[in-house]
Structure 1
Amino acid sequence: MQNEPNNSEWLRIVELITGNTLLYDLLKYCPLAILRQWKLEQVKGGSLICQQNEICHQFHLIVQGNVDVFINANDGRKYLQARYHAGDMLGELEIFEQRPYICSVEAISDVTLLTLSRTDFCHWLSVDNHFNQKIIKTFSSQYYQLSKKAGEDNLYSLHQRVCLVLWESYQHQGAQHHGEITVNKLQLSEQFAVAQRSINRILFDLREQQIITVNGEQIRVIDPRRLQRQAVC
């Protein structure tokens, strides 16, 4: 096993775990000998945590902050897969056989991680049935979400998918703000793996149909019924 953290770092790790319901539920049966092998890692926003195609040697738990998980296409475009938050895991798919990371992971804010070596991770998995069950549930959830996303990408046009994002944003925030929503066009282009001009064309078309108005990143939904129909037709 690795060298154990010093007392101040160990106390900080215990404080972080006990102060976070998600982390505590995941780690509550972790043996003390393994628990003391965790390392705290601070990552600045905009920094890469995992690099696509590099070999995975460590397992990470997000303690604080948010990260984007994305695939880099050969032409340089990013294909956003997910956004992870506190309590989510990184490296759990690739670590068993030290495979290359399928995706890159980038901190979109300052991030605090708990990091464990592959050896200690495998030992933990072999002695903690509770964690074993959590890993299985995580794999199941990830497979479900990826299958759902793949189905949507294949079955629905880009126009429909953009309309669906606008409609869902309208439901969550627009209805309470006179139809006004904020849309990050760059993030949409990464999410759908298309050029930003393709997103702009769809927004222009919706504006010409008088379904929305556009002012930079601010969009106002003026005909939600027609927007919903275009999202699900």
Structure 2
Amino acid sequence: MQNYIKEFSLDRVLSEQLIGELAINRYSKGDLIIQQGENPQYVFFLVKGKIKTYKTSDEGKRLILSFKEKFEILGDIEFVQQAPYINTVEAITDVQILTIPIRTAQKYGMSHLPFVQFVLERITEKLYVNSNALTFNLMYPVEVRLCSYLLSVSIDNRTISNRDLKDAADLIGTSKRHMNRVIVDLCNQDIIERRKDCLFIVNHEKLVESAKHNIYEERIR
């Protein structure tokens, strides 16, 4: 944990009381880190691994907002608003996360200016990125959304497991039939290849081009 504190300069934004309450949690691929609608218990700092964030409608439909890798703060909006979690966060790879109990963050964090500034900067960026994600899902065709999704869940930029494809149509906002047509088209273009238990990326550069450089992982520049 001390290595992570040093690597991400957390001592510059966290007070001694907050650092003293830090704990490290580990999650495996597929584990839910945050569930939409639950009351917040912690402020999270993603320090290793990759996550996906999505929203679920009242009808049960899900929509991808973004994929993130270290470093990222989670539960910040809910911490400030003192409201239930607004999105679900799932581990895409094995993940390590530092946590601070939300009561501790409220007691010591709101009076520590560097922490307040840090949280507000992250919230501003997150709102910008999530707003873009919702726009992308409305404006970009299914081909772009699927290619971006494949890039985001691929292992070593090469393999997409059938497990990660299971809910892909739902998450990118299309039908399974349409998604399968796009997969066939990508196979015909020699961009990807169907294998027994996965999709294999044959031409990574073409997939990146088709994904518009991955709309789900764009950040503020």
Is TM more than 0.5 here? yes
Counterpart residue number, 2:177: 197
Contact 1:43 1:111 in 2 (8 A): yes
Is residue 14 of structure 1 aligned with residue 10 of structure 2? no
Give a deviation string over 1:97-144, Cα, whole Å, max 9, x none: 431211112223333322212222123433332222222221221122
Letter in 1 for 2:29: G
Find 1:89's aligned residue among 67, 73, 86: 73
1:120–1:192 CA distance, 2 compared to 1 (3 A): same
Work out the CA distance in 1 between the residues paired with 2:101 and 2:46: 15
Give a deviation string over 1:10-32, Cα, whole Å, max 9, x none: xxx334312xx22xx23324221
Partner SS state of residue 80, structure 1:
strand
Give the superposition deviation at 1:59: 0.8
1:230–1:126 CA distance, 2 compared to 1 (3 A): closer
1:155–1:52 CA distance, 2 compared to 1 (3 A): same
Give the superposition deviation at 1:64: 2.6
1:113–1:205 CA distance, 2 compared to 1 (3 A): closer
Counterpart residue number, 2:15: 31
Find 1:215's aligned residue among 185, 194, 217: 194
1:164-203 alignment runs, 5 A limit: 182=159, 185-186=165-166, 188-203=168-183
Letter in 1 for 2:200: Q
Give a deviation string over 1:66-123, Cα, whole Å, max 9, x none: 2222223456554222223332111111123431211112223333322212222123
Identity across matched positions, percent: 22
Counterpart residue number, 2:219: none
Larger RCO (CA under 8 A, 6+ residues apart): 2
Letter in 1 for 2:173: A
Counterpart residue number, 1:135: 119
Counterpart residue number, 1:62: 46
Give a deviation string over 1:117-176, Cα, whole Å, max 9, x none: 2222123433332222222221221122122222222223324544677899xxxx7xxx
TM-score, scaled to structure 2 = 0.71
Work out the CA distance in 2 between the residues paired with 1:79 and 1:106: 13
Contact 1:186 1:196 in 2 (8 A): no
Q: How many residues align?
A: 205
- CA RMSD of superposed structures (Å): 3.7
Work out the CA distance in 1 between the residues paired with 2:211 and 2:93: 34
List runs of 5+ in structure 1 lacking aligned partners. 1-12, 174-180
Letter in 2 for 1:214: E
Letter in 2 for 1:39: A
Contact 1:48 1:106 in 2 (8 A): yes
Give the superposition deviation at 1:207: 5.1
Contact 2:51 2:91 in 1 (8 A): yes
Contact 2:46 2:98 in 1 (8 A): yes
Counterpart residue number, 2:215: none
